[in-house]
Chain A
Amino acid sequence: MSERKPRILVIDDEPQILRFLRTSLTANGYEVIEAGTVADGRALINKEQPDVIVLDLGLPDGDGKDVLRHVRAQGETPVLILSARDREAEKVEALDLGADDYVNKPFGIEELTARLRAALRHRLRQQGEQPIFKSGDLSVDIPRRIVKRGEELIHLTPKEFDLLRFFVKHAGKVLTQRQILQEVWGPAHTSDAEYLRVYIGQLRRKLHATRENPIIETEQGVGYRLK
């Protein structure tokens, strides 16, 4: 992928939005292909094998989530959702179905491109899994269960470590409450938000999180993300 431009498929039915995305994303070094319907989107995914997909959920001939299911049935191509701020339920549903991230409309291009880069990076990292995760001065050695900030060794309980490991595995990706609870506490606890609140609070405290660098970011009403 370092040789050629990343190929991005934008699926949206608003010509104005397509127009500015085409201009901006091309200027930002992407090869842009476009679809305005669920049917065209699916056809282009099969034919063009995009590296990343930007998907609006409200499409004229059906539900954008159908595209998402189609993508996930085939593989792990990163998908970024365009949605309205007050549609939390819709976003959570899309993330639960395997979308990587979302951007609220209206959005600035700097935000969109930052999210796109993160999604692509995340996918690369997953392919060649590193045993030691590093972000800023935080390092997590998964096999040896060692967590450090700078030189300071941080002691975590087994549950806290499980939680952090899940975040590390999906660094950069928005994880929904349901996904985290299911993975760390098991399928019987998918709606026990209280576990998550308490453990996230503890984990942040132990990792010396601050408002400027919360380490694990709160995605309001949706879930969490490790930077």
Chain B
Amino acid sequence: MDDWNDVLTLSVFLVIGVITGLLAGRVRDQANAAQARADALQTLFDFSRRLSASATPDALLHAIVLQAFRLSKLNAIALLPHAGDIEIRYAWPPEDTLDAANMAAARWAMQHGEPAGHATATLPSATWHFRPIRTAKKTVGVLGLRQSQSDPLLRRDMLQTMDSILDQSAVAIERLTLGEEAARVEAMAATDRLRTALMSSVSHDLRTPLTTIMGSASTLRQDQAKLPEGAKDELLLAIVDETKRLDQYVTNLLNMSRLEAGELKPRREWLDPAEVLESAAGRVAARASHVAIDTRIGPTIPLLRADFMLLETVLVNLLDNALKHGEGAEHVSASVKTHNDMIVFEVVDDGVGIPPDFLDRLFDRFFRVQRSDSQPAGSGLGLSICKGFVEAMGGRIEVKSPVTQGKGAAFVVSFPMEAQPATELAEAQAQ
């Protein structure tokens, strides 16, 4: 009986051993499978993050193609619709042509939204396998994989993974093309508005002085003998003045296009703010004698790192504006002082001021203050250029109106103060 017992015990142990072994094996397999799933999920997760971080269609295609290459270890390529056909947009390893048979397969996949080429029923003689990138509504592109010499058949599980990549890609591509489209429409509308404004500005601001010049010069030429001396002088002066105005306008247009093109690279060198202010005031005073410009320099103004030409242009524009548009202005002042760690320039006039409705749009290109009783003056470029220049140098420009007793306008340009250079200078300044 003992023997029987022993045999039984042994058998039980054996069975338990076998079962345990089987169980352990299954657990290990499950663990491996879980790990593989986790890896796949992680890969997909990483991929989707890269997709949503892609700001441009090209960055997106880059991510998709690289992902396909990583997972399949096969050459990968992406094609997108272009001018009624499809074109290669990205490939890894780099590739810029496909032969006719492969292009035909890619086109078919694009048109029918079904896989085509190698390892499919459609055009199987092609060396690439193409799968459509589909959104809910349409096929937005094609992803291709090239069969390899060592592994001529594409594996089913790999194709499944590929499809899940493609699903995610499609959504991202759709989002981007929509965004791109909207941005392009918006940009076109803005460009259009700008072009219209520019054309009307050019035709008015170029033609008016040209008309005056042409008229004055031809009068002088034709009627020389008949004209009294005073009249000749007047016509000649008109020619000179209008030429200056044309020059100013051309300078403004050039400055604006430099700003538009992002070509403005301000120099950053140490300047004496008082010197720039005096230089600007001197320049304006030389051509406008009817109103005195009063300059005030605060005590111990530190040096400012900026571009002399640009800053002076800004101050000259503001002073010119104060003289031109500050109707009824008797006093125009320009000052520089320090306030709350800022270097602050201020140009103030005591003219009629700016209607409150216009304050917001004052710095817009081609915007001109239209008063009911007069023609708008100026080209509407000066202040937008000021704003562009000031911001390019890291400063800020603001307008306040009225200033006192319901009158006047103040333009305030401020720059952050910077740590001052060289101590030797402090000693020199103390002398």
With A106-B247, A211-B278 known to touch, is A197 a contact of B309 (CB < 8 Å)?
no
Select one of B270, B272, B309, B421 contacting A220, CB under 8 A: B309
Inter-subunit contact B240/A211 (CB<8 Å): no
Inter-subunit contact A198/B272 (CB<8 Å): yes
Given the complex of chains A and B, what is the CA–CA distance between A218 and B278 in angstroms?
A: 10
Chain A residues, CB < 8 A from B421? 192, 194
B274 interface residue, CB < 8 Å from A?
A: yes
B363 interface residue, CB < 8 Å from A?
A: no
Given the complex of chains A and B, what is the CA–CA distance between A211 and B425 in angstroms?
A: 24
B271 interface residue, CB < 8 Å from A?
A: yes
Residues 200-217 of A at the B interface (beta carbon under 8 Å): 200-202, 211-212, 214
Given the complex of chains A and B, what is the CA–CA distance between A159 and B431 in angstroms?
A: 12
Residues 147-169 of A at the B interface (beta carbon under 8 Å): 157, 159
Chain B residues, CB < 8 A from A195? 422, 425
With A197-B275, A198-B303 known to touch, is A159 a contact of B428 (CB < 8 Å)?
yes
A221 interface residue, CB < 8 Å from B?
A: yes
Inter-subunit contact A197/B272 (CB<8 Å): yes
With A106-B247, A108-B240, A195-B425 known to touch, is A201 a contact of B309 (CB < 8 Å)?
no
Interface size counted on chain A using CB atoms at 8 A: 24
Chain A residues, CB < 8 A from B243? 106
With A157-B431, A218-B279 known to touch, is A194 a contact of B274 (CB < 8 Å)?
no
Interface footprint category on B: 20 to 34
Chain B residues, CB < 8 A from A159? 428
B404 to chain A, nearest CB (A): 25
Chain B residues, CB < 8 A from A214? 278, 282
A85 to chain B, nearest CB (A): 6
A105 to chain B, nearest CB (A): 9
Chain A residues, CB < 8 A from B255? 86
B43 to chain A, nearest CB (A): 53
Measured CB to CB, the nearest residue on chain A to B429 is A198
A88 to chain B, nearest CB (A): 6
Inter-subunit contact A197/B429 (CB<8 Å): no
Residues 239-255 of B at the A interface (beta carbon under 8 Å): 240, 243, 247, 251, 254-255
Inter-subunit contact B282/A211 (CB<8 Å): yes
B364 to chain A, nearest CB (A): 23
With A106-B247, A220-B309 known to touch, is A194 a contact of B275 (CB < 8 Å)?
no
A20 interface residue, CB < 8 Å from B?
A: no
A193 interface residue, CB < 8 Å from B?
A: yes
23 contacts between A and B (CB under 8 A): A86-B251, A86-B309, A108-B240, A157-B428, A159-B428, A193-B269, A194-B303, A194-B421, A197-B270, A197-B275, A197-B303, A198-B272, A198-B303, A198-B429, A199-B428, A200-B272, A201-B272, A201-B275, A202-B428, A202-B429, A202-B431, A211-B278, A221-B312
Chain A residues in the interface with B (C-beta under 8 A) = 85-86, 88, 106, 108, 157, 159, 191-195, 197-202, 211-212, 214, 218, 220-221
Top 4 nearest A-B pairs (CB, nearest first) are A194-B270, A221-B309, A193-B269, A197-B272
